[in-house]
Chains A and B, each alone.
Chain A
Amino acid sequence: MTGKQMLRLGTDSAAVNACIPMCFEPIAPLISWSDGWLAEFWYYFADTHDKSIYSPQYYLAFDIPGGKPVKMERMEDNVCCLGSASELFENEYYNRQNLYLEKCAELMEKGVPSEEEILVLQELWINCLPEKFKKILNGKSSFPYHRSSETEKLVYQPKSMMEVLKLEMCKAIKNGDAHEIQRIQNEMTKLMK
């Protein structure tokens, strides 16, 4: 899997379209190892007018290289504006991100990583974050997330099969049900053809 393909999991996949509102962007994924590779995406809103960014509001994790979504969380309770992030509007930021993703792909090619190699990747990941996110990370290895206290209520009846599948996908990801996720992905693919 290339670095770009990893990034595309978080920008263009059935799970993203189902679980992440369209206005949100992912940070470069944190790639880690725990009996298999994991790509963790945090999603945030960037105001393109005043260049301000807001703390991450959504989380989606995929196993790689399979690309199956395995976890989803909302972090909506303490969202705040972090101020200006003008680096998001310059190529240097994307170049750092692309370099990090290439390193991830290289390491994944090699096989099971050592702890040191994972720590190096983590440092590279932190280095390619927007400055404002580095500050709220505050030395930890991932952004805090917790289940939103608000229970999602179904306030309308889905009218189409795609809507039903979307809701089922969110539930399956939250429950970590890999078989169900695969089934729904297959159904969504059939519907879109």
Chain B
Amino acid sequence: MDCEFHENNMKSEELRKQLELPDSIELIERNEKKELNEYSAETLKLTDGTEIDSRSKKETQEQKEKAPFTYSKDYIKADGEYVPAQIKGVYTDAMEELAYRDIAEDLGRWEQQEKSYSCAVQVQKWIISEELGKTFSETELREIGLEKGLYRDSSGTYLEDVGKLAEMNGLNYEQHSNLKMDELIALKNTGANVIIGVDSHLLYRPYLDKEFKVNHAVELIGFDFSDEKNPMVIINNPGKSTGRGVAYPMEVFERAACKVDEQTGEKSVYFATAVYGRGDQK
């Protein structure tokens, strides 16, 4: 038994290293009895009348057994800000599925942005450092951006310049606009690193009756479709100290990332930049 325990421990340590999981994220065997999920009972109401119940009201035992990750509680603060669920643990068996493994691998690279306007620089930093196998600091990339006219400390990045810092470091990028959600999912499934333009006001307060305007960059690291009726979009958000591996209900993500066509009511992701690794095909 001791040998088996030791062997399992070694496997876990090896998997942790492979995934480069930060210490704050637990690696969990499915048969461990861990009650990590605490869900708020609050219902979030969006301006279009959509109501989003907390996961606790919707998640069945079967779904809990299929979930690839464990999440912290999502809730609404006293000042009205929506605090999303955050990945706290990764189930080892879920790592056999590439999409979930990719998410776990991307958790380690998150860092908070250093300047008010440097979100796009920080996100590109994660991608460049990972793809080149070399650690850049945000300061280094900001200085390159300053020199090349792609970033200013007083104003940040133009939307059309998102991806150019990556390009300067030998990576290909492609900008997309007005993507349907299934197109975004397909884009992510190509293995690309995807930067999304979001409205941070709506990300943090999706009930606001505000016109969508991109003002922040986040990285889309994947989707949790383990509960098909309640899909989650998982991002790394440089703008929050708790921005690592945060999971939003699809409706909330759409509110913050999509424009709505006035005529048809159709939603489309306003802006996405796909950055490809050197070995990736576009």
Q: List residues of chain A with CB under 8 Å of any chain B CB.
A: 4-5, 7-8, 11-12, 17-18, 20-26, 45-49, 57, 76, 79, 86, 88-91, 94-95, 98, 153-156, 159, 162-163, 166, 192
Contacts and interface: CB of A to CB of B under 8 A. Distances in A.
Contacts of B212: 11-12
Contact of B201 (A7, A88, A98, A163): A88
A17 B208 CA distance: 23
Highest count of chain B CB atoms <10 Å: which of A7, A25, A163: A25
B18 interface: no
Interface string B36-64: 00000000000100000000000000000
A66 B18 CA distance: 56
Contacts of B240: 49
Interface string B146-178: 011110101111111010000100000000010
Highest count of chain B CB atoms <10 Å: which of A22, A88, A89: A22
A8 B214 CA distance: 12
A23 B177 contact: no
B211 A21 contact: no
B73 interface: no
Interface stretch (B22-30, B114-122, B135-143): B114-122
A79 B154 contact: yes
A86 B217 CA distance: 22
Contacts of A162: 160
A11 B211 contact: yes
Given A22-B159, A89-B79, A163-B160, 7 more contacts: A11-B211, A22-B214, A23-B116, A23-B156, A48-B200, A94-B208, A162-B160
B204 A48 contact: yes
Interface of B: 47, 79-81, 116-117, 119-120, 147-150, 152, 154-160, 162, 167, 177, 197, 200-201, 204-205, 207-217, 239-240, 259, 262, 270
Contact of A21 (B81, B117, B201, B259): B117
A22 B157 contact: yes
B155 A57 contact: yes
B201 A17 contact: no
B213 A89 contact: no
Contacts of B270: 12
Contacts of B81: 89
A23 B216 contact: yes
In the A-B complex, the 5 residue pairs with the smallest Cβ-Cβ separation, listed nearest first, are A11-B213, A21-B155, A23-B156, A155-B149, A156-B148
23 contacts: A4-B211, A11-B212, A12-B270, A18-B160, A21-B156, A21-B158, A22-B158, A22-B197, A22-B217, A23-B116, A25-B215, A48-B204, A49-B239, A89-B208, A90-B208, A91-B47, A91-B208, A94-B208, A155-B147, A156-B148, A163-B160, A166-B160, A192-B177
A154 B149 contact: yes
A22 B116 contact: no
Nearest to B201: A48
Contacts of A7: 211
